[in-house]
A and B are shown apart, each in its own frame.
Chain A
Amino acid sequence: MERDSYKRLRLKIIGATLGFSFVPLALMAITFYAKLESTYFNKVNANLRNLAENKKETIDLFLNERISQLTTLAFTESFADLSREDYLEKVFSVIQIHSKSFIDLGVIDESGRSVAYCGPYQLIDLNYSKERWFQEAMAKGLYVSDVFLGFRKYPHFIIAVTRREGDKSWILRATIDSDIFDSMVRNVDLGARGDAFIINREGVLQTKPRNGQAVLEKIDFPVYQEFAGTRLKEMTVNGAQGLYALTWLNKKGWLLVLRDDPKEEFLPVLSARRLLLAAIGCAALLIITGAVIIANAMVSEVVKAEREKAALDANLTQQSKMAALGKMAAGVAHEVNNPLAIIMEMAGWMRDLLSEEEMKESENYKEFENALTKIEFHVRRAKDVTHRLLGFARRMEPLQEDVNVNMLLDQTRSFLENEANFREIAIVSDYQKDLPRITSDTAQLQQVFLNIIDNAIDAVGKDGTITISTRHLAEQGKVAVSIKDSGPGIPKDVLERLFDPFFTTKRVGEGTGLGLTISYSIIEKLGGEIHVESREGEGATFNILLPDK
C-alpha cells in the first residue's frame, strides 16, 4: 500500500517534470521549425520567381535584339543589294561580329522564292510560298516562328521581317542557332535537379530541357492562357514533382518554365530538422534522466523522512503511554494502599488479640493463626505490587555516580549464578576490558540488569547459554551492553507489547508485568536506550545503550 503510494509519487514527479520540460521544448522546437520552414520556403519561392523573371527578361531582350538587327538591316539595305550573295555575305559577317546567334541569313521575294542565302545550308531556289511562316510574315510584316525542322531537318526557329520596297515586298529571314538559344534558356542557377525550358501554346518543347527530352516533343503540361507576371505552382509533370515558375514571354507566345526540386532546395531545412530532432532527442534523454534522478532522490528523501517520523512517533507514543500509565498506576496504587493498610492493621489487631492467653487455648487457635498469616502474606504481596507501581510512577532524579559497567554486571550476575547453575544455564561474559567508566545510577542500572538477566534465565528455562557483552561505541559516544539468551525467542505480537506495564507471559503470581516497564523508564531517565532483537526460535537480545560520559 505504502510502496504503491511512493511509486505513484515517483511517477507524478517524473510526469510533472517531463510535462513542464517537454511542452515548452516541443512548442519552441515546433515554432522554430515552422518559422524556419516558412522563411526558407518564401526565400526559395522568391528566388525562383526572380530567376524566372530575369530569364524572361534576358530571352525577351535577346529576341528583341535579333528582331531589331534584322529590321534595321531590312530597312537600311535595298532588295537589289541584298539579293547579291557577296553583299549578303558581307552584311552577315558584320552582324556576326556582334552576335553569333544567327546561323544564316536569306532573302526571299514575294513569290516565296529564295533569292539569296548565306549560311551552312544550300537553300537557294527553294520555294517557301507554301510555308506557313512565309504567309504569316507576308501578312504581318514580322514573324517569329516556333521551333521546327523545315527543309534542313534540324530544329531551329526563324525570324522573318517583311519590307515593302515600291510595289514589291520582300522578306529578310534569319535562322537562330537553337543550340545557343537552348543553352541560354537552360543556363539557370537551379541546382542539379532544377530545369528551365520553353513550351509553346500546344505544350511542344521549344528548347531542350535537362531531363533528356528532345526538342519538339510534346509534353504533358497543363495548358495556360497567357497571363502577365510570374506564377508559382507546385505540381507533378512527367512524374517529376517540383515547384514550377511559369511566365509568358512578351515577344512570342512561348511559356518559360523553370522547375525547381523542392527536395533539393529544402535540403538545408531538412538537415536543420534532423539537427533539431537530434538536439530534442538529446535534451529529452537528459530531461528524462534528470527527472528520474530527481524523482528518485525526492522519493528517497520522503521515505527517509517518513521513516524518521514513524520512529519519532513510535518513540513519542511509547513515552506518552509511559507517562499516562505512570499517572494511572500511581492513582490506582494509592487508592489500593489505603484499604490495604486498613486490612493490614485489622489483621494485626486480630493477631494482638490472639496473643492473649485465653485465646491460645481456644480450639480454633491454629486456624485463626493460619488465616491471619495468609492474610498478612497476601496483603504484603499486594503491597509489593503497589509499591513497585509507585516506584515506576515516581520521578526520582537518578544519582550521578562513577559506574564501572563490567564490574556492576559481574556483581549482578553473581546474584543469579545459583539459580543459573541449578538450571544448567551457562552465563558467558564477553566484556571489553578497557570499557570507560560512565556516570550513572548504580542501583537503578543494577535493577535493570537484574530484571533482564532474570528474564533471560526464565526464557531459557533449562540448559542453555546467556551471553553478556559490553562494547564501547566511541564514535556514537555510547557504551553498549547486550544480553543474549538462547531461549525460544519472542513472538512478534509479544515484542510489540514487551515494555507495556502489566504485560507478562509468566503465570499469574509469578510476574507483575512491570519489570521491563520499569527497566525502560530507568534507562530512559539515565539518558540511554533499550532495544530488543528477537526472532522466534533464535533467542532474544536486549541491547542497552548508555551515554559514555
Chain B
Amino acid sequence: MKLLLIDDERDFIETMEKRFKFRKIDVTAAGSGAQALEILGREEFDVAILDVRMPGMDGLDTLKEIKKRHPLMEVIMLTGHGSVESGARGMSLGAYDYVLKPVDFSVLLDKVEMAYERKLLNVAKNA
C-alpha cells in the first residue's frame, strides 16, 4: 500500500511519517496541496490523508483536484476544524471518511486499511 500524507504542519507530518514507516507502510509526505498534486503526477498512491485546513490551496480544493485526476485513490479527510460540516462536505466530494484532530492513531490506521481495501475492490471492479 502506498500512502500520501498531506498537511502543512511539519512536525505533525514528520511524526506521522515515522509512525507509518514503523508499521512498514510505504508513506510519502507532502507539505501542501500543490506539492501533493505534483507528487501524484509522478507516482501513484492508494490512499491519501488530507488536512482540511491548509494555507494556499485548502483541503477541499485539493480533494476536488485529486478526485478529478485520480478517481480511484481513496482520501481520508483530517479536520482540526472539528466541524462536522467540512468533514461531511469532504464526504460529499468523494472522500472515504473523515477523522477529527487530534487523531487517535489506531483509529486512523484502521480507516487507512479499510480505505485501502475499498480501493482494491474498486480497482478490481473497474478492471
Q: Which residues of A contact B (CB under 8 A)?
A: 330, 333-334, 337-338, 340-346, 348-349, 352-353, 379, 383, 386-387, 390-391, 394, 396
The residue in chain A whose Cβ has the minimal distance to the Cβ of B78 is A341
Of the candidate stretches B9-17, B26-34, B37-45, B57-65, the one touching chain A is B9-17
The residue in chain B whose Cβ has the minimal distance to the Cβ of A355 is B22
Known: A346-B15, A348-B15, A349-B19. A341 touches B103 (CB 8 A): yes
Contact status A345-B82, CB under 8 Å = no
In the complex, A391 Cα to B103 Cα: how many Å? 17
| CB pairs A–B below 8 angstroms (10 shown) | A333-B82, A337-B80, A338-B9, A341-B12, A341-B80, A344-B104, A344-B105, A349-B19, A391-B82, A394-B82
Contacts of A379 in B (CB 8 A): 102
- Selected contact of A394 from candidates B83, B102, B105, CB within 8 Å: B83
Most buried by A among B22, B84, B101, B103: B101
The residue in chain B whose Cβ has the minimal distance to the Cβ of A382 is B102
Interface pairs A-B: 5 shortest CB-CB: A390-B82, A341-B102, A345-B15, A344-B102, A337-B80
Contact status B15-A337, CB under 8 Å = no
Known: A345-B12, A348-B19, A352-B22. A337 touches B102 (CB 8 A): yes
Contacts of B103 in A (CB 8 A): 341, 344-345
Contact status B105-A348, CB under 8 Å = yes
Contacts of B80 in A (CB 8 A): 334, 337-338, 341
Contact status B11-A342, CB under 8 Å = yes
Contacts of B102 in A (CB 8 A): 337, 340-341, 343-345, 379, 383
Contact status A349-B83, CB under 8 Å = no
The residue in chain B whose Cβ has the minimal distance to the Cβ of A352 is B22
In the complex, A352 Cα to B106 Cα: how many Å? 11
Contact status A338-B82, CB under 8 Å = no
Contacts of A353 in B (CB 8 A): 22
Known: A337-B102, A341-B101, A344-B102. A349 touches B82 (CB 8 A): no
Answer whether residue B81 sits at the interface, using C-beta atoms and an 8 A cutoff: yes
The residue in chain B whose Cβ has the minimal distance to the Cβ of A356 is B22
Most buried by B among A330, A334, A338: A338
The residue in chain B whose Cβ has the minimal distance to the Cβ of A341 is B102
Contact status A338-B101, CB under 8 Å = yes
Known: A341-B12, A352-B22. A396 touches B100 (CB 8 A): no
The residue in chain A whose Cβ has the minimal distance to the Cβ of B9 is A338
In the complex, A386 Cα to B16 Cα: how many Å? 22
Answer whether residue B110 sits at the interface, using C-beta atoms and an 8 A cutoff: no
In the complex, A94 Cα to B100 Cα: how many Å? 151
In the complex, A279 Cα to B89 Cα: how many Å? 83
Answer whether residue B2 sits at the interface, using C-beta atoms and an 8 A cutoff: no
In the complex, A508 Cα to B12 Cα: how many Å? 30
In the complex, A125 Cα to B85 Cα: how many Å? 154
Answer whether residue B18 sits at the interface, using C-beta atoms and an 8 A cutoff: yes
Please give 18 more A-B residue pairs, beta carbons under 8 A apart, in addition to A346-B15, A390-B81, A394-B82: A333-B82, A334-B53, A334-B81, A334-B82, A337-B80, A337-B82, A338-B12, A338-B101, A341-B80, A342-B15, A344-B102, A345-B12, A348-B19, A349-B19, A352-B19, A379-B102, A387-B82, A387-B100
B115 to chain A, nearest CB (A): 19
Contacts of B104 in A (CB 8 A): 344
The residue in chain B whose Cβ has the minimal distance to the Cβ of A340 is B102
Contacts of A349 in B (CB 8 A): 15, 18-19, 22
Contacts of B19 in A (CB 8 A): 345, 348-349, 352
B1 to chain A, nearest CB (A): 18
Contacts of A340 in B (CB 8 A): 101-102
Contacts of A341 in B (CB 8 A): 9, 12, 80, 101-103
B33 to chain A, nearest CB (A): 17
Contacts of B15 in A (CB 8 A): 342, 345-346, 348-349
Contacts of B16 in A (CB 8 A): 345
B97 to chain A, nearest CB (A): 17
Contacts of A338 in B (CB 8 A): 9, 12, 80, 101
In the complex, A387 Cα to B99 Cα: how many Å? 12
A345 to chain B, nearest CB (A): 4
Contacts of B12 in A (CB 8 A): 338, 341-342, 345
